[in-house]
Structure 1
Amino acid sequence: MPPPGNRNDCKAWEESGAKAAVGNTMTIADGGYPCTGLVMAPQAPQWRGVTHLEAGAQQSHKQVRARVEHVFARMKTAQRS
Protein backbone atom coordinates (compact mmCIF):
# COMPACT_ATOMS: atom_id res chain seq x y z
CA MET A 1 0.00 0.00 0.00
CA PRO A 2 1.50 3.36 -0.97
CA PRO A 3 2.06 5.87 1.83
CA PRO A 4 -0.45 8.74 2.01
CA GLY A 5 0.37 12.19 0.72
CA ASN A 6 3.07 13.46 -1.57
CA ARG A 7 6.29 11.54 -0.91
CA ASN A 8 9.73 11.38 -2.43
CA ASP A 9 10.16 8.02 -4.19
CA CYS A 10 13.20 7.05 -2.11
CA LYS A 11 11.46 7.81 1.17
CA ALA A 12 8.28 6.01 0.10
CA TRP A 13 10.38 2.98 -0.94
CA GLU A 14 11.61 2.54 2.63
CA GLU A 15 8.49 3.65 4.53
CA SER A 16 6.11 1.43 2.56
CA GLY A 17 7.94 -1.74 3.59
CA ALA A 18 8.82 -2.55 -0.03
CA LYS A 19 12.55 -2.43 0.72
CA ALA A 20 12.18 -4.98 3.51
CA ALA A 21 9.90 -7.18 1.40
CA VAL A 22 12.36 -7.27 -1.51
CA GLY A 23 15.38 -8.02 0.67
CA ASN A 24 18.48 -8.77 -1.42
CA THR A 25 16.57 -9.50 -4.64
CA MET A 26 17.76 -7.50 -7.65
CA THR A 27 15.05 -4.91 -8.32
CA ILE A 28 14.86 -2.44 -11.20
CA ALA A 29 13.64 1.12 -10.85
CA ASP A 30 13.34 4.37 -12.76
CA GLY A 31 15.60 7.36 -12.24
CA GLY A 32 13.71 8.51 -9.15
CA TYR A 33 15.50 6.09 -6.83
CA PRO A 34 19.18 7.15 -6.64
CA CYS A 35 21.27 5.85 -3.73
CA THR A 36 18.76 3.09 -2.86
CA GLY A 37 20.66 0.12 -4.29
CA LEU A 38 18.00 -0.44 -6.96
CA VAL A 39 19.08 -1.13 -10.54
CA MET A 40 18.51 1.88 -12.79
CA ALA A 41 19.14 2.29 -16.52
CA PRO A 42 22.72 3.38 -17.23
CA GLN A 43 23.18 7.08 -17.85
CA ALA A 44 26.05 8.49 -19.88
CA PRO A 45 27.53 11.92 -19.27
CA GLN A 46 25.97 14.43 -21.64
CA TRP A 47 29.35 15.40 -23.09
CA ARG A 48 30.15 11.80 -24.13
CA GLY A 49 26.88 10.42 -25.41
CA VAL A 50 25.63 6.85 -25.12
CA THR A 51 27.71 3.89 -26.31
CA HIS A 52 26.14 0.97 -28.17
CA LEU A 53 26.45 -1.20 -25.06
CA GLU A 54 24.72 1.40 -22.89
CA ALA A 55 22.00 1.90 -25.50
CA GLY A 56 21.26 -1.84 -25.49
CA ALA A 57 21.15 -1.91 -21.70
CA GLN A 58 18.82 1.10 -21.63
CA GLN A 59 16.49 -0.50 -24.18
CA SER A 60 16.33 -3.76 -22.25
CA HIS A 61 15.70 -1.91 -18.98
CA LYS A 62 12.90 0.15 -20.57
CA GLN A 63 11.20 -2.94 -21.99
CA VAL A 64 11.07 -4.67 -18.62
CA ARG A 65 9.89 -1.49 -16.86
CA ALA A 66 7.15 -0.98 -19.44
CA ARG A 67 5.75 -4.44 -18.68
CA VAL A 68 5.81 -3.71 -14.95
CA GLU A 69 4.11 -0.33 -15.44
CA HIS A 70 1.36 -2.00 -17.49
CA VAL A 71 0.75 -4.46 -14.65
CA PHE A 72 0.52 -1.54 -12.18
CA ALA A 73 -2.01 0.20 -14.44
CA ARG A 74 -4.13 -2.95 -14.64
CA MET A 75 -4.00 -3.37 -10.87
CA LYS A 76 -5.17 0.21 -10.35
CA THR A 77 -7.99 -0.23 -12.86
CA ALA A 78 -9.10 -3.47 -11.13
CA GLN A 79 -9.17 -1.71 -7.73
CA ARG A 80 -11.57 0.96 -9.05
CA SER A 81 -14.04 -1.63 -10.30
Structure 2
Amino acid sequence: MDRGRHPVPVRDRKVGASSRNHRFSANVQVIVDADTRLVVAAARPVPGTTADARAWRASGLAEHCQGVAVLGDGAYINTGLIIPHRRRPGRALMAGEEADNAEHRRVRARVEHTFARMRNYKILRDCR
Protein backbone atom coordinates (compact mmCIF):
# COMPACT_ATOMS: atom_id res chain seq x y z
CA MET A 1 0.00 0.00 0.00
CA ASP A 2 1.27 3.41 -0.79
CA ARG A 3 0.18 6.85 -1.67
CA GLY A 4 1.43 9.15 -4.33
CA ARG A 5 1.14 12.87 -4.75
CA HIS A 6 0.36 13.62 -8.35
CA PRO A 7 0.02 16.95 -10.13
CA VAL A 8 -3.54 17.82 -11.11
CA PRO A 9 -4.76 20.64 -13.33
CA VAL A 10 -5.32 23.97 -11.59
CA ARG A 11 -9.00 23.92 -12.58
CA ASP A 12 -9.55 20.87 -10.35
CA ARG A 13 -9.07 22.53 -6.96
CA LYS A 14 -11.62 20.33 -5.17
CA VAL A 15 -9.22 17.39 -5.36
CA GLY A 16 -5.89 19.21 -5.46
CA ALA A 17 -4.13 21.30 -2.85
CA SER A 18 -1.18 23.59 -3.34
CA SER A 19 2.00 21.90 -2.19
CA ARG A 20 5.32 23.40 -1.16
CA ASN A 21 6.47 23.58 -4.78
CA HIS A 22 3.38 25.70 -5.65
CA ARG A 23 1.82 22.97 -7.76
CA PHE A 24 -1.56 21.44 -7.12
CA SER A 25 -1.40 17.77 -6.19
CA ALA A 26 -3.68 14.98 -4.99
CA ASN A 27 -2.95 12.18 -2.53
CA VAL A 28 -3.94 8.84 -4.11
CA GLN A 29 -4.06 5.69 -1.98
CA VAL A 30 -3.33 2.49 -3.96
CA ILE A 31 -3.02 -1.13 -2.84
CA VAL A 32 -0.71 -3.27 -4.99
CA ASP A 33 -0.20 -7.04 -4.80
CA ALA A 34 3.55 -7.40 -4.23
CA ASP A 35 3.76 -10.74 -6.06
CA THR A 36 1.82 -9.91 -9.22
CA ARG A 37 2.30 -6.11 -9.12
CA LEU A 38 -1.37 -5.72 -9.98
CA VAL A 39 -3.40 -2.91 -8.47
CA VAL A 40 -5.88 -4.46 -6.05
CA ALA A 41 -7.73 -1.29 -5.05
CA ALA A 42 -7.48 2.47 -5.38
CA ALA A 43 -9.25 5.09 -3.29
CA ARG A 44 -10.64 8.39 -4.42
CA PRO A 45 -7.99 11.12 -4.35
CA VAL A 46 -7.85 13.58 -1.48
CA PRO A 47 -6.03 16.94 -1.42
CA GLY A 48 -2.26 16.53 -1.51
CA THR A 49 -1.79 18.20 1.88
CA THR A 50 -3.76 15.43 3.63
CA ALA A 51 -1.63 13.27 5.94
CA ASP A 52 -1.16 9.71 4.75
CA ALA A 53 -2.64 8.09 7.87
CA ARG A 54 -5.72 10.33 7.69
CA ALA A 55 -6.18 9.57 3.99
CA TRP A 56 -5.93 5.82 4.75
CA ARG A 57 -8.60 6.02 7.45
CA ALA A 58 -10.92 8.02 5.20
CA SER A 59 -10.34 5.86 2.11
CA GLY A 60 -12.25 2.77 3.18
CA LEU A 61 -9.53 0.55 1.72
CA ALA A 62 -9.12 -1.33 5.00
CA GLU A 63 -12.27 -3.34 4.19
CA HIS A 64 -10.56 -4.71 1.06
CA CYS A 65 -7.62 -5.96 3.12
CA GLN A 66 -9.28 -8.11 5.79
CA GLY A 67 -7.03 -11.03 6.72
CA VAL A 68 -4.12 -9.84 4.56
CA ALA A 69 -0.83 -8.27 5.65
CA VAL A 70 -0.58 -4.73 4.27
CA LEU A 71 2.73 -2.87 4.29
CA GLY A 72 2.97 0.90 4.44
CA ASP A 73 5.74 3.42 4.92
CA GLY A 74 6.56 5.13 8.20
CA ALA A 75 3.80 7.71 7.77
CA TYR A 76 1.08 5.14 8.54
CA ILE A 77 1.55 5.01 12.32
CA ASN A 78 -1.42 3.59 14.30
CA THR A 79 -3.32 2.47 11.21
CA GLY A 80 -2.89 -1.29 11.51
CA LEU A 81 -0.47 -1.41 8.58
CA ILE A 82 2.96 -3.02 8.90
CA ILE A 83 5.51 -0.21 8.98
CA PRO A 84 9.31 -0.29 9.27
CA HIS A 85 10.97 -0.37 12.68
CA ARG A 86 12.19 3.03 13.81
CA ARG A 87 15.50 3.69 15.46
CA ARG A 88 15.02 5.24 18.87
CA PRO A 89 17.38 7.96 20.13
CA GLY A 90 20.52 6.44 21.60
CA ARG A 91 19.66 2.90 20.48
CA ALA A 92 20.52 1.14 17.24
CA LEU A 93 18.16 -1.30 15.59
CA MET A 94 18.63 -4.94 16.51
CA ALA A 95 19.75 -7.37 13.81
CA GLY A 96 16.25 -8.83 13.45
CA GLU A 97 14.69 -5.39 13.09
CA GLU A 98 17.27 -4.43 10.47
CA ALA A 99 16.49 -7.64 8.55
CA ASP A 100 12.74 -6.88 8.78
CA ASN A 101 13.35 -3.39 7.41
CA ALA A 102 15.44 -4.77 4.53
CA GLU A 103 12.61 -7.12 3.52
CA HIS A 104 10.11 -4.30 3.94
CA ARG A 105 12.15 -2.10 1.57
CA ARG A 106 12.42 -4.91 -0.96
CA VAL A 107 8.65 -5.46 -1.09
CA ARG A 108 7.79 -1.74 -1.08
CA ALA A 109 10.12 -1.14 -4.01
CA ARG A 110 7.69 -3.18 -6.10
CA VAL A 111 4.90 -0.83 -5.09
CA GLU A 112 6.99 2.21 -6.01
CA HIS A 113 7.76 0.68 -9.42
CA THR A 114 4.04 0.13 -9.98
CA PHE A 115 3.41 3.79 -9.15
CA ALA A 116 6.08 4.80 -11.65
CA ARG A 117 4.37 2.76 -14.34
CA MET A 118 1.02 4.29 -13.48
CA ARG A 119 2.56 7.75 -13.85
CA ASN A 120 4.27 6.88 -17.15
CA TYR A 121 1.05 5.55 -18.65
CA LYS A 122 -0.91 8.47 -17.17
CA ILE A 123 -3.34 6.11 -15.46
CA LEU A 124 -3.70 8.31 -12.38
CA ARG A 125 -4.66 11.28 -14.53
CA ASP A 126 -8.15 9.80 -14.90
CA CYS A 127 -8.40 9.06 -11.18
CA ARG A 128 -9.25 12.64 -10.33
TM-score using structure 2 length = 0.56
Structure 1 stretches of at least 4 aligned residues deviating more than 3 Å after TM superposition:
none
Say if 2:71 and 2:108, in contact at 8 Å, map to a contact too: yes
Say if 1:3 and 1:15, in contact at 8 Å, map to a contact too: no
Q: How many corresponding residue pairs? A: 81
Match of 1:3 in 2: 45
In percent, how many aligned pairs have the same letter? 32
CA RMSD after TM alignment: 1.8
Q: Where is the strand percentage greater, Structure 1 or Structure 2?
A: 2
Q: Where is the helix percentage greater, Structure 1 or Structure 2?
A: 1
TM-score using structure 1 length = 0.84
**Is 2:104 the counterpart of 1:61?**
yes
* The one of 70, 75, 79 aligned to 2:118: 75
The structure with higher relative contact order (CA 8 Å, sep 6+) is 2
**Partner Cα distance (2:115, 2:61) in 1:** 15
Gaps of 5+ in 2: 1-42
1:14 is displaced (CA, Å) by 2.1
